[in-house]
Structure 1
Amino acid sequence: MSEGPSGYNIGYLDEQTKRMIRRALLKAVAVPGFQVPFASREVPMPRGWGTGGVQVTAAIIGPDDVLKVIDQGADDTTNAVSIRSFFAAVAGVRTTTRTGEASIIQTRHRIPETPLAEGQTIVYQVPGPEPLRFLEPRETETRRLHALADYGLMYVKLYEDIARYGHVATTYDYPVMVAGRYLMAPSPIPSFDNPKMHRNPALQLFGAGREKRIYAVPPYTDVESLGFEDHPFEPQRFDDPCAICGSVGVYLDEVITDDVGGSMFVCSDTDHCERAANSDTNTATANTATANTATADAVDTVEVTA
């Protein structure tokens, strides 16, 4: 057993536990969307705060990895900062807030706006891995339904939403079909992020510590959100740009700005927002410098002519 910089085993978990989780991950990758049971261990955080994702990350992280942790898209929230600091202490890995620099991205409830690339791994924190749980509470029955690919209950639920509201009312944790076979809960990401899962070049791993389940979506796997021919899946849309960086076509959070109900909408992904804002600033600075140079050249030309 090798020790990390904090005196704990590298990644906190013991090597036997990490091997057990890796075996579960291999099974999950071999059968995309299938929930693989595993013996969830205790980690220094309460269940429901990312224990499954932490265990998956601990099992796959190595000394050469670069880790990014986000919570609702933000790098600076309590959950993200705590987990990032935890792995920096027990694994000695380099951490980052830049999506493009990370080899492992652990996330709670968002997929980054920056497209993921081959070689990257995104680890989802999952509170409820069973998409049929609120329709069928019996575990034995949900397992039978998955074995038979009998997902009529979920389609009935979507139909009831359409009959009642005119559209599917589910805006997060929207159920998906993986590789045309298994119904899967994508974790409580907004439906806005569902299309990003389809044929994503990154390896997607899901860990539910409290429910003791692991599942996965290998790179370039088909992930289709459920829908009907006359009512296809429609992700959330935002018409307004980000109030900070001006980005459009991104997921926005409403931020309260005063005590009288004032608010503004800003990017949920803080890394994307920061880079977009800096890009606009650099562009404006470059344009100003170009304009100043052109003005100076014009003045010099006038003086020479005179």
Structure 2
Amino acid sequence: MTSEAPPQPQTVAGLAHAWQDHSYAFLDESSKRELRRKILKAIALPGYQVPYASREVPIARGWGTGGLQATLALIGPGDIMKVIDQGADDSVNAANLRRFISRMTGVATTTDAMQATLIQSRHRIPEEILGSGQVLILQVPDPEPLRGVESNISVARQMHADADYGLMWLKLYEQLVKFGRIIQGASYPSLVHGRYVISPSPIPRWDVPKLHQAAHLTLLSAGREKRLYAVPPYTDVQPLEFDDVPYQIEDQGGQTCFRTGVAHKFFNELPQEDGSSRYELSDSGYGEKVLRRREGEPVELGHAYFDDEGRFYHDGYLKQ
């Protein structure tokens, strides 16, 4: 017979987790639970601005605190993270946020939009079509689309409750009368699920149609204004337009990326010393994949929202 080893006495130290200098994903668990509850409410009411208790994080207000908090509330050990700023993966803001999130969570990071499960972005949506299971988190400096026509936020809240967007339509009409066209660029007001008008972050007009009937979840969070809202998967998003004046994206026709040769994508204009301009893909991750594929690497390119002929992937959505 073999004698069993006597049971070891339990101690408090043995039952406790190993000491670490921060909570997982930086925020404390109660903060993350509150944010998740508010995110669920935002998903249940597409386009509705849900207030939340915005916490302090180690970046300045106005530099993506809202998007960062939403990311930290949702991210888990199995996620793959991509962070972009104005389309670039290597900008100072994107690099700092990526480094912080990786340090606080240990998750893998990528520059490939197709591999990422969470994408935090400032002012751009990737060129490749995002799929189900992916979450796009947009940083928002000003979530209130009515601020330009109604400075009293209490009155603006009541206008949202009444679905009273007449002043917004009047603003667009005045632009037509004065300039002959609608000059509203980034943050173009858009109707979500036929109910709430939102400011879709300062993304260019080129990116707004990408929210319509998208397979992925889009969360928009403003840390300074303490508001978040959502566009759930397969939800209608319609930029405000008149029947006889259709919504128009930025004209990228005739331009190609000087590095990749790609056309019919959103470009950054680079002024040259001789007064001319060169154009470069705004989505640096997509451009990197195009170049690597050209060099013979087995890189898989996802389908783009706009094909090589400039056609949007939802036929008939953009009127010509």
Q: Using structure 2 for the length normalisation, give the TM-score.
A: 0.85
- 1:123 to 2:137 alignment: yes
Does structure 2 retain, via aligned residues, the 8 Å contact 1:4–1:91? no
For 1:68, the equivalent position in structure 2 comes to 82
- 1:79 to 2:93 alignment: yes
User: Which of the residues 49, 58, 61 maps onto 1:44?
Assistant: 58
Give unpaired runs (5+ residues) of structure 2.
1-15, 298-320
- 1:189 to 2:208 alignment: no
Q: CA offsets per residue over residues 87-135 of structure 1, 9 Å max, x none?
A: 1101111111110110000000000001100000000000000000111
Q: CA RMSD in A?
A: 1.7
TM-superposed deviation, 1:165: 1.3
Q: Distance in 2 between matches of 1:280 and 1:85?
A: 29
SS at the partner of 2:229? strand
For 1:216, the equivalent position in structure 2 comes to 230
Q: Distance in 2 between matches of 1:9 and 1:101?
A: 26
Equivalent position amino acid for 2:42 in 1: A
TM-superposed deviation, 1:166: 1.3
For 1:96, the equivalent position in structure 2 comes to 110
User: Which of the residues 231, 241, 246 maps onto 2:261?
Assistant: 246
- 1:132 to 2:140 alignment: no
Q: Using structure 1 for the length normalisation, give the TM-score.
A: 0.89
For 1:293, the equivalent position in structure 2 comes to none
Over 3 Å counting, the alpha-carbon distance change for 1:7 and 1:149 in structure 2 is same
Q: CA offsets per residue over residues 125-164 of structure 1, 9 Å max, x none?
A: 0000000011101111001100000000110011011111
SS at the partner of 1:161? helix
Q: Distance in 1 between matches of 2:263 and 2:248?
A: 17
TM-superposed deviation, 1:282: 3.0
TM-superposed deviation, 1:7: 2.6
Q: Distance in 1 between matches of 2:114 and 2:217?
A: 15
TM-superposed deviation, 1:263: 3.2
TM-superposed deviation, 1:257: 4.4
For 2:312, the equivalent position in structure 1 comes to none
TM-superposed deviation, 1:279: 2.6
Mapping of residues 169-188 of structure 1, within 5 Å: 169-188=183-202
User: Which of the residues 12, 15, 23 maps onto 2:26?
Assistant: 12
Q: Distance in 2 between matches of 1:4 and 1:95?
A: 25
Does structure 2 retain, via aligned residues, the 8 Å contact 1:255–1:266? yes
Q: Distance in 2 between matches of 1:78 and 1:141?
A: 38
TM-superposed deviation, 1:5: 10
Q: Distance in 2 between matches of 1:8 and 1:98?
A: 29
Does structure 2 retain, via aligned residues, the 8 Å contact 1:4–1:92? no
TM-superposed deviation, 1:237: 2.0
What's the % identity of the aligned pairs? 47
Higher helix share: 1
SS at the partner of 1:18? helix
For 1:143, the equivalent position in structure 2 comes to 157
- 1:255 to 2:265 alignment: no
Over 3 Å counting, the alpha-carbon distance change for 1:159 and 1:106 in structure 2 is same
Q: Distance in 2 between matches of 1:34 and 1:216?
A: 7
